[in-house]
Structure 1
Amino acid sequence: MTVRYNTILVAVDGSDESKRALRKAMVLAKDHGAKLLLAHIIETLTTAAPGPGSQAVFPEVDEKAINMLKEYKELAEKEGVTDVKEILDYGSPKVKIAKDVAKKYHVNLIVTGAAGLNAVEKFLIGSVSQHITRHAACDVLVVRSETEDK
């Protein structure tokens, strides 16, 4: 039985690990003829502007995320992926990716780096990739960093 993925979601945060996951996701999307979704979730707890009850994100955080997604989309298209969509959302990355985004876009494979930018969160409450692996309803590919490969 051959497994074919139709919609592949790659979680990106600008880290080296997420860039590595992006490269693997691009290869898989080309091999499977799949749609590639580039998802970046802005963690509102750490990026919200100060103020009582504020959920507003600093404008530079939005701008950086938009530019990163645009750059990754251009890279994927240059590498031959024909169907690429950018997704920018707000909230908890681990919850949004595993539950909301994957369900909304009928994802059947999530690709994520083994570790991302937020070492403090990983130490305190576990990594995004660990949460996605435990809670996603679809297959999950966790891409290891180069040092973990050795």
Structure 2
Amino acid sequence: MLQQYKHILVAIDGSYEAELAFQKAVEVAKRNEAELFLVHVIDTRAFQNVSSFDSAMVEQVTETAKKTMEQYVAMAKENGLDKVNFSIEYGAPKVVVAKEIPKAQDIDLIMIGATGLNAVERLLIGSVTEYVTRTAVCDVLVVRTDLNNKPALNQAGKKADIQPK
């Protein structure tokens, strides 16, 4: 029997690469009759430098993330996927995506977009994708192409169309 994934995780961060990973994950989940679990991680380090920590700011970020995640769930369902759930987490995205969510949700495949960071940014802050591929407790598929398996960036360096043709 072929390997069949039952619980697929996609990290949603608002990037073009995450959008590609989401679209491919919907198709993989349908083929495998799997549950799709979406996670958005609010990086709490982003609030460390705010001198007057404002809980209203965190609530606003959380509410925006919730609306975005609900839109992704609706898109997955419109594309024929029945089992879709999401979570909004707080902490270091690397650890949450690579270890915490996979253990808590019995994830057997993480689909994640290729990093959009340049070499200097990766050196200074690291790549979530690189960390996940190195330390995840399950299989990881790094998405680098669109639904037609064309490179995510065209020859002019611009983002390719992410809609299926």
Tell whether the structures are fold-level matches, with TM greater than 0.5: yes
Map 1:99-114; keep pairs closer than 5 Å. Answer: 99-114=99-114
Instruction: Find the counterpart in structure 2 of residue 126 from structure 1.
Output: 126
SS of aligned partner of 1:42? strand
Q: For structure 2, which runs of at least 5 residues remain unmatched after alignment?
A: 146-151, 158-165
- CA spacing shift, 1:66–1:97, aligned 2, 3 Å: same
Instruction: Tell me the TM-score normalized by structure 1.
Output: 0.88
Structure 2 residue aligned with 1:66: 66
Residue matched to 1:19: 19
1:59 Cα deviation (Å)?
A: 2.5
Question: Quick one: distance in 1 between partners of 2:25 and 2:48?
Answer: 30
1:77-135 deviation line (CA, Å, top 9, x unaligned): 00011100011100000101101001000000000000258998534132101000001
Greater C-alpha Rg: 2
Q: Structure 1's 116 and 20: CA in aligned 2 closer, same or farther, altered over 3 A?
A: same
Rounded Cα–Cα distance in structure 2 between residues aligned with 1:47 and 1:65: 16
- Confirm whether residue 147 of structure 1 aligns to residue 120 of structure 2: no
- Mapped to 2, the partners of 1:104 and 1:39 lie a distance apart of 12
Checking the alignment, whether the CA contact within 8 Å between 1:44 and 1:55 is kept in structure 2 is: no
Instruction: Tell me by how many angstroms 1:147 deviates.
Output: 1.8
| One-letter amino acid of the structure 2 residue matched with residue 112 of structure 1 | I
Question: What letter matches 1:27 in structure 2?
Answer: E
Quote the Cα distance in structure 1 between the aligned partners of 2:113 and 2:60. Answer: 24
Q: Secondary structure in 2 aligned to 1:58?
A: helix
Unaligned runs of 5+ in 1: none
Query: Which aligned pairs between 1:18-37 and structure 2 lie closer than 5 A?
Result: 18-37=18-37
Q: Hey, what's the Cα distance between the residues in 1 that align with 2:104 and 2:40?
A: 15
User: What is the percentage of aligned positions where both structures have the same residue?
Assistant: 41
Q: Is structure 2 residue 88 aligned with structure 1 residue 82?
A: no
Counterpart residue number, 2:10: 10
> What is the aligned length?
149
CA pair 117-68 structure 1, distance change in 2 beyond 3 A = farther
Contact 2:26 2:76 in 1 (8 A): yes
Going from structure 1 to structure 2, the CA distance change for 1:10 and 1:134 (only over 3 Å counts) comes to: same
**Given the superposition, is the C-alpha separation of residues 112 and 80 from structure 1 closer, same or farther in structure 2, using an over 3 Å criterion?**
same
